[in-house]
């Protein structure tokens, strides 16, 4: 590999400082759209290329699995590019396809696969599968490497069961959801059930601590962990076992954390333990050949309900850095140029966020043209709002050849708002909904996974109970109660009863036959788990259990759909096996529990994206519709009487606005259905916080009667805004000779000629070391420099 990587020329000076930083701590304050992913990926590449860091010594924490995948792909491209240059003296994309694939797969194997890139949860689930046998909690509970990961609904029902059945409490007074939240809270402060008991003197707190204790006992007896445990257990393990900590400290010499403003205390503890080997004295730290590199933006902190705490970011300079003022510090870099959005959009975002008091001043310098005004649409109700948005999308898609459906996003505060938009889009425009009912939350998928979990981890009683009578095997509640009662009395797991025919025959009475045949199927697959791939097991167990036949027998559309989903799950397993070396059932299950809908959002998919503002973090779209801007909805009524929560809502709005590249539409309705009743709605205060001169509401209103009308009508009603829109889109193509730009694959270049006019522009760009290229600016992905 080359000694001085030329890819560094793609960076602006601050990005370059961040990328070239080698040892010790560094905080990168990265505003929206300032190229932080670029900084992260280039830095990783540079560590390996320039500083000869072994990829397996790099730990990079991302916020979603999707971000992790993207990061890996981008690093792979950098390496493949370098290799193409060195071995063939050519740009990667100029090589034969076959050659490219081969190069990429070599790069992947050598440099990408050994990297530790993922979310906190997936990375530490992986570490726990290696080391959890060395851990014991305060109450001497232990787990083994086949542990199940309980998702939020598993956790929820466990709590509910404890509150209502085991402790016979009033679930009005002890709302299982609130209790679960309190437990999560305790875990995120690193408190054990015993700590929680000491912490609380009041009745309610003590009861919750008791539920927590029961909850933790049950997790342990199921050999299961919840999401919080995936972070908490490693922290406790590292604290109680310095050999284990030492091992991982040694392993992860370079730690990178993305979206640092959304980490919470316990995640901070984890990172701190790993990077400092548990030394509390700064003077004892040794940064030789080590670094901690975090990237974040306090203005985009939107996960405090998940205990995220952006003061952790603000404290980085004291905790890790030199603590010097901004002018003198060597442990902080600010990325302030925004390469994403039009100036109008940026100014709106900036004005909005200035209404927050809890922030550090940060400027976002625009690098692109002024762009369009922001349109605010006042709709009659949520149905008309949806029609407005959909019609606007159809118009623009038709009008601008450079726009496709995938360039539009509809963002809302709550998942429940998606329905009217789906209704308006259906049959007309391809769309995908991110979030809401996730694939892995569907009944048939949860059932399938329960079969797999029961096979991988026989102690997982929750899963066994889910499927013991699904499909129907004539096993009723009475039988289940007797089996469970016996297990509890003997202090053994349900499975130990089920797998013993004598016990079953005594306890289950007339259902014994069903129970025994169920146990026998599970047992047979358990015995083969080591020899078979996850895919073979899924296929086998779902057929043999009668689950598939049962659905086929039903013959309804719904059952048909469920069958499709089950086979979709099978495909997911196959895909997982292709992408991962760990093809074991446990490997797949861990992945499945931590997967999210967002992970499937692909760029190539030419569909309008519908999602919540939270899901939209980190994404960008040429045209964004931010809908439902009404008091009580956004900002949400639960946040309105608490200043800190209101500021978080405002940050959420800020995140939404800064997703837009070219054009931003905001909408609100005069009245809206809520729980089935029509309620009048008031404009969101956030709308009032935008500078008047940036906003326009003169867009031609589409009347309800026109909604079903043909394209002709749509065209005529758009007359007014056509000119202005056109100007905005065109502006992105206006290039002048001498301008500098960054091309995704060719790097930095200078515009030498501009050909043609109007929509048919092409430009000639001179790239250093590559020469001149003629590009279509509407097709190529270009970033203007300054």
Partner DNA sequence: AGGAGTGCGCTTTTT
Partner DNA sequence: GCGCACTCCT
Annotated catalytic residues are 36-37, 258-259, 300, 659
**Three-state DSSP state, 513:** helix
CB of 227 to DNA, least distance (A): 4
Partner residues linked to 43 by β-bridges: none
Any binding-site annotation on 30?
yes
Q: Which is nearer to DNA, 274 or 633 (CB)?
A: 633
**Three-state DSSP state, 673:** strand
Which tokens sit at 679? 């309620």
Q: Which is nearer to DNA, 443 or 753 (CB)?
A: 443
Partner residues linked to 148 by β-bridges: 224
DSSP state of 307: T
Q: What is the dihedral of CA 284, 289, 290, 291, to 10 degrees?
A: 120
**Three-state DSSP state, 115:** coil
CB of 550 to DNA, least distance (A): 10
CB of 435 to DNA, least distance (A): 4
Any binding-site annotation on 33?
yes
Of 123, 114, 138, which Cα lies nearest the Cα of 234?
123
DSSP state of 172: T
Any binding-site annotation on 34?
yes
Of 545, 475, 453, 548, which Cα lies nearest the Cα of 222?
453
CB of 69 to DNA, least distance (A): 13
Partner residues linked to 29 by β-bridges: 296, 334
**Cβ pair 330, 357 in contact under 8 A:** no
d(CA 465, CA 445): 15
**Cβ pair 31, 299 in contact under 8 A:** yes
Give the contacts of 529 (CB within 8 A, at least 6 positions apart).
455, 456, 537, 585
d(CA 648, CA 660): 20
CB of 264 to DNA, least distance (A): 9
Residue 482 to residues 376, 499, 507, 516, 533, Cα–Cα distance (Å): 62, 15, 6, 15, 35
Q: Which is nearer to DNA, 236 or 413 (CB)?
A: 413
Say if strands 431-433 and 374-379 run parallel, antiparallel, or are unpaired: unpaired
CB of 89 to DNA, least distance (A): 42
Any binding-site annotation on 31?
yes
Long-range contacts of 486-494 (CB under 8 A, 24+ apart): 487/461, 493/221, 493/458, 493/459, 493/461, 494/461, 494/464, 494/465
Structure-token match 């975002």, residue found: 349
SS (H, E, C) 628-655: CCECEECCEHHHCCCHHHHHHHHHHHHH
Structure-token match 């600016």, residue found: 777
Binding site residues, DNA, CB under 7 A = 63-65, 119-122, 151-152, 177, 227, 302-303, 305-306, 413-416, 435, 469, 472-479, 511, 594, 596, 598, 611-612, 614-615, 636, 638-639, 645, 673, 675-676
Any binding-site annotation on 35?
yes
Q: Which is nearer to DNA, 83 or 551 (CB)?
A: 551
Which tokens sit at 648? 């978080």
Q: Which is nearer to DNA, 446 or 726 (CB)?
A: 446
Structure-token match 């259906």, residue found: 426
Any binding-site annotation on 9?
no
**Cβ pair 698, 372 in contact under 8 A:** no
Q: Which is nearer to DNA, 123 or 751 (CB)?
A: 123
**Three-state DSSP state, 60:** strand
Q: Which is nearer to DNA, 374 or 383 (CB)?
A: 383
Q: Which is nearer to DNA, 673 or 683 (CB)?
A: 673
Of 603, 617, 669, which Cα lies nearest the Cα of 648?
617
Which tokens sit at 702? 């589409």
CB of 151 to DNA, least distance (A): 7
Q: What is the dihedral of CA 165, 166, 171, 173, to 10 degrees?
A: 160
Q: With left for phi above 0 and alpha for psi between -120 and 50, is residue 771 left, alpha or beta? A: left
CB of 560 to DNA, least distance (A): 18
CB of 472 to DNA, least distance (A): 3
**Cβ pair 648, 700 in contact under 8 A:** no
Any binding-site annotation on 37?
yes
CB of 177 to DNA, least distance (A): 6
Residue ranges for the known binding site for ATP are: 30-37
Residue ranges for the known binding site are: 30-37
């Amino acid at each position: 590999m080359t000694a001085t990587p030329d890819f560094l020329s793609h960076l602006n000076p601050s990005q370059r400082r961040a990328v070239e930083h080698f040892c010790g701590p560094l905080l990168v304050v990265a505003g929206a759209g300032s190229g932080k992913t670029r900084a992260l990926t280039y830095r990783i590449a540079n560590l390996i290329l320039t500083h000869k860091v072994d990829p397996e010594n790099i730990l990079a924490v991302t916020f979603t699995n999707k971000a992790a995948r993207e990061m890996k792909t981008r690093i792979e491209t950098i390496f493949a590019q370098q290799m193409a240059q060195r071995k063939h003296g050519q740009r990667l994309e100029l090589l034969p396809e076959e050659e490219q694939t081969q190069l990429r797969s070599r790069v992947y194997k050598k440099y990408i696969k050994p990297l530790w890139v993922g979310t906190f949860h997936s990375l530490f689930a992986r570490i726990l599968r290696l080391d959890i046998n060395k851990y014991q909690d305060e109450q001497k509970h232990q787990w083994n490497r086949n542990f199940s990961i309980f998702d939020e609904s598993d956790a929820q029902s466990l709590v509910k069961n404890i509150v209502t059945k085991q402790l016979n409490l009033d679930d009005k007074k002890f709302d299982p959801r609130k209790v679960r939240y309190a437990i999560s809270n305790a875990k995120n402060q690193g408190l054990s059930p015993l700590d929680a008991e000491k912490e609380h003197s009041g009745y309610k707190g003590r009861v919750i601590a008791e539920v927590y204790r029961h909850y933790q006992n049950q997790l342990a007896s199921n050999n299961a962990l919840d999401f919080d445990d995936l972070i908490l257990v490693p922290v406790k393990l590292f604290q109680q076992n310095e050999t284990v900590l030492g091992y991982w400290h040694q392993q992860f010499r370079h730690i990178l954390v993305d979206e640092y403003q959304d980490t919470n205390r316990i995640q901070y503890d984890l990172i701190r333990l790993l990077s400092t080997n548990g030394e509390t004295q700064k003077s004892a730290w040794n940064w030789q050949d080590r670094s901690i590199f975090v990237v974040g933006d306090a203005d985009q902190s939107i996960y405090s309900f998940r205990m995220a705490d952006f003061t952790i970011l603000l404290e980085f300079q004291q905790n890790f850095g030199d603590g010097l003022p901004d002018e003198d510090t060597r442990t902080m870099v600010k990325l302030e140029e925004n390469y994403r959005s039009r100036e109008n959009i940026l100014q709106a975002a900036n004005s909005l966020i200035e209404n927050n008091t809890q922030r550090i001043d940060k400027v976002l310098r625009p690098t692109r043209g002024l762009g369009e005004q922001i349109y605010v649409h006042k709709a009659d109700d949520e149905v008309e709002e949806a029609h407005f948005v959909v019609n606007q999308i159809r118009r623009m898609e038709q009008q601008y050849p450079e726009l496709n459906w995938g360039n539009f996003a509809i963002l809302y505060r709550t998942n429940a708002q998606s329905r009217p938009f789906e209704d308006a889009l259906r049959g007309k425009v391809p769309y995908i909904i991110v979030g809401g009912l996730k694939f892995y939350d569907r009944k048939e998928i949860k059932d399938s996974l329960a079969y797999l979990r029961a096979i991988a981890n026989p102690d997982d009683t929750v899963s066994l109970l889910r499927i013991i009578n699904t499909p129907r095997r004539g096993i009723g509640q009475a039988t289940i109660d007797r089996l469970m009662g016996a297990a509890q009395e003997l202090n053994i797991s349900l499975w130990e009863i089920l797998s013993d025919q004598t016990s079953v025959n005594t306890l289950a009475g007339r259902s014994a036959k069903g129970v025994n045949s169920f146990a026998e199927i599970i047992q047979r697959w358990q015995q083969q788990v080591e020899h078979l791939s996850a895919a073979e097991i899924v296929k086998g167990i779902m057929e043999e259990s009668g689950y598939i036949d049962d659905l086929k027998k039903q013959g309804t559309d719904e059952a048909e759909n469920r069958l499709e989903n089950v086979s979709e799950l099978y495909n997911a397993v196959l895909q997982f096996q292709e992408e991962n070396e760990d093809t074991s059932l446990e490997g797949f299950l861990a992945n499945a529990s931590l997967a999210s809908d967002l992970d499937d959002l692909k760029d190539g998919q030419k569909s309008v994206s519908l999602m919540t503002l939270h899901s939209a973090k980190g994404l960008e779209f040429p045209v964004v519709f931010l809908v439902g801007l009404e008091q009580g909805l956004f900002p949400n009524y639960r946040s309105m009487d608490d200043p800190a929560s209101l500021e978080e809502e405002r940050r959420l709005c800020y995140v939404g606005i800064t997703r837009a590249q070219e054009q931003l539409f905001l909408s609100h309705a005069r009245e809206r259905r809520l729980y089935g009743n029509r309620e009048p709605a008031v404009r969101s205060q956030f709308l009032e916080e935008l500078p008047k001169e940036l906003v326009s509401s003169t867009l031609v209103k589409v009347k309800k009667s026109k909604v079903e009308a043909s394209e002709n009508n749509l065209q005529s009603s758009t007359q007014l805004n056509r000119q202005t829109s056109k100007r905005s889109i065109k502006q992105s193509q206006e290039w002048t000779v001498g301008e500098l730009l960054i091309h995704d694959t060719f790097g930095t270049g200078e515009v030498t000629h501009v050909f043609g006019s109007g929509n048919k522009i092409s430009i000639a760009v001179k790239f250093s070391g590559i020469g001149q290229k003629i590009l279509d600016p509407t097709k190529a992905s270009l970033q203007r420099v300054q």
